[in-house]
Amino acid sequence: MDQLDRNLAMELVRTTEAAALAAAQWVGRGDKNAADAAAVQAMRRMLSTVHMKGIVVIGEGEKDQAPMLYIGEEVGTGEPPESDLAVDPIDGTRLCANGMPGAVSVVALAERGSMYYPPGIVYMNKIAVGPEAAHAIDIRLSPTENLHRIAEAKRMSVRLLTVVVLDRPRHQALIEEIRRAGARIRLITDGDVAGAVMTAFPESGVDVLMGIGGSPEAVVAAAALKCVGGAIQCTLYPRDEEERQRARELGLELEKVFTADDLVRSDNVFFAMTGITTGDLVEGVRFTRHGAETHSIVMRSRTGTIRRIAAEHRLAKVQEYQTIA
C-alpha cells in the first residue's frame, strides 16, 4: 500500500499550525481547558479540509471523554486514502496555561488499521532514543544498563548523557537510579511527546526519555521516531489493581514490549508538530502587528525528509484562525 500522497505532510502541518495559533491566544491565562478547547476546535476545523478518509485512533481523551476529536471520530473530506490519525492538539496544556516552555501541537497519520491503542490503559512505561542509540535500548533491562548501552552507542560517557523525565512522584526511584548511574536529568512538568522527539534532535541536548507517561503520547512519539529512525519501547502500566485486572480480562499482555513498529504498524507515516510556547525543539507562536508566526517540524517516514517550516499568518485574512474575541 503506497497510497498516502506526500502532499498530506503539508496538509497536516496546517492543522497543527491552526491548533497552535488558537492555543497561543490562551497562553498564560491560567485556563488549560479553554486553551485545549480552542486548540481542539481549530485542529478539527482544519482537519475537515484534509483530503483523506481519516479516523481518530488516538484522540482527546479516554480520561475525560472529550466531545471532539474523540477516538473513533471520522475526520477529513471523506475521499481516499483511508488513514489512522493520532492527534494531540496541545501536549502540555498546563505548560500552555502557565506560559511555560515546551507546549506543542502534534498530529500523526498512517495507513488505516496501523495504529495501536491499548484500550483502557492510560499510561505506558517508555524509553525513547534517537537514531544513534536505536539498537542499544531494551526496556526489560534496568535504567542503569540502558544508560551504559546508550553511552556506548553514542561513544559518550554516561556522565554526559541527559535524560528527560516527567517530574512526578512515581518517578522518584527512577530519578535516584539515573543520578546514581551518573547521568544528568532534565525534569519536565509535562510534554513527553516533545521529550521523546527531542532525543532524535541533537541540538536539543537530550539523549533519552525514560519513565511513565500517557499511552496516547507513546503512539504519537512512535510515529515521529519512525520518521527519524529513532526508537521507542513501551510496556503497559496499569495504574491500580482494577486496571491491571481489566487489562488481563482484555487479554492484554503486561510483559509485552511494544516497539515503534507495534504502536504504528506502517512504514508510511506522517508527523507534524507546531510550537505553542518556545521549547527545545520548536519555537512558540509569536504575535506580530499583522498576525502571528509559527514554527513547525514536518516529517515523513517513507523518505525520511525532515522539514522545518516557519510561517507568517495574517490573522485578519484567515477566518479559520480567529478563535478568540
90's contact among ligand VTB, Mg ion, none, with CB below 5 to 8 A by partner kind, is: Mg ion
Shortest distance, position 43 Cβ to ligand VTB, whole Å: 15
Q: Does residue number 91 form part of the binding site for Mg ion (CB under 5 A)?
A: yes
Shortest distance, position 123 Cβ to ligand VTB, whole Å: 7
168's contact among ligand VTB, Mg ion, none, with CB below 5 to 8 A by partner kind, is: ligand VTB
Question: Among residues 30, 103, 106, 41, which one has the least CA distance to residue 285?
Answer: 103
Return the half-sphere exposure (C-beta side, CA atoms, 13 A cut-off) of residue 147.
Answer: 25
Residue identified by cell 473530506 is 77
Q: Which residues contact 180 (CB under 8 A, 6 or more apart)?
A: 144
Q: Does residue number 17 form part of the binding site for Mg ion (CB under 5 A)?
A: no
Cα→Cα distances 78→73, 75, 124, 157, Å = 12, 7, 32, 51
Question: Among residues 309, 307, 310, 278, which one has the least CA distance to residue 292?
Answer: 310
191's contact among ligand VTB, Mg ion, none, with CB below 5 to 8 A by partner kind, is: ligand VTB
Count the Cβ atoms, other than its own, within 10 Å of residue 86: 29
Residue identified by cell 498576525 is 291
Could you tell me which stretch among 84-92, 108-116, 226-234, 305-313 binds Mg ion (CB under 5 A)? Answer: 84-92
Pick 84 or 88: Cβ nearer Mg ion: 88
Shortest distance, position 178 Cβ to Mg ion, whole Å: 23
Pick 62 or 91: Cβ nearer Mg ion: 91
Torsion sign, CA atoms 207, 175, 160, 278: positive
Shortest distance, position 50 Cβ to ligand VTB, whole Å: 23
Q: Does residue number 43 form part of the binding site for Mg ion (CB under 5 A)?
A: no
By CB under 5 A, the residues from 230 to 269 that bind Mg ion are none
Q: Does residue number 11 form part of the binding site for Mg ion (CB under 5 A)?
A: no
Q: Which residues contact 64 (CB under 8 A, 6 or more apart)?
A: none
Shortest distance, position 185 Cβ to Mg ion, whole Å: 21
Residues contributing to the site for ligand VTB (CB under 6 A): 91-92, 166, 168, 190-193, 213-214, 217
| Amino acid (one-letter) located at 189 | T
Pick 50 or 90: Cβ nearer Mg ion: 90
Could you tell me which stretch among 22-30, 80-88, 180-188, 195-203 binds Mg ion (CB under 5 A)? Answer: 80-88
- Spatial separation of the C-alpha atoms in residues 265 and 76, rounded to whole Å: 21
* Dihedral over alpha carbons 238, 240, 244, 246 (to 10 degrees): -100
Shortest distance, position 91 Cβ to ligand VTB, whole Å: 5
Whether residue 81 is preceded by a cis peptide bond, meaning omega within 30 degrees of 0, is yes
- Spatial separation of the C-alpha atoms in residues 115 and 110, rounded to whole Å: 7
Pick 268 or 274: Cβ nearer ligand VTB: 274
Could you tell me which stretch among 91-99, 146-154, 275-283, 307-315 binds Mg ion (CB under 5 A)? Answer: 91-99
Pick 50 or 193: Cβ nearer ligand VTB: 193
Look up residue 65 and give its three cell numbers: 471523554
- Spatial separation of the C-alpha atoms in residues 208 and 116, rounded to whole Å: 23
Shortest distance, position 154 Cβ to Mg ion, whole Å: 28
Summarize as ranges the residues that interact with Mg ion (CB under 5 A). 88, 90-91
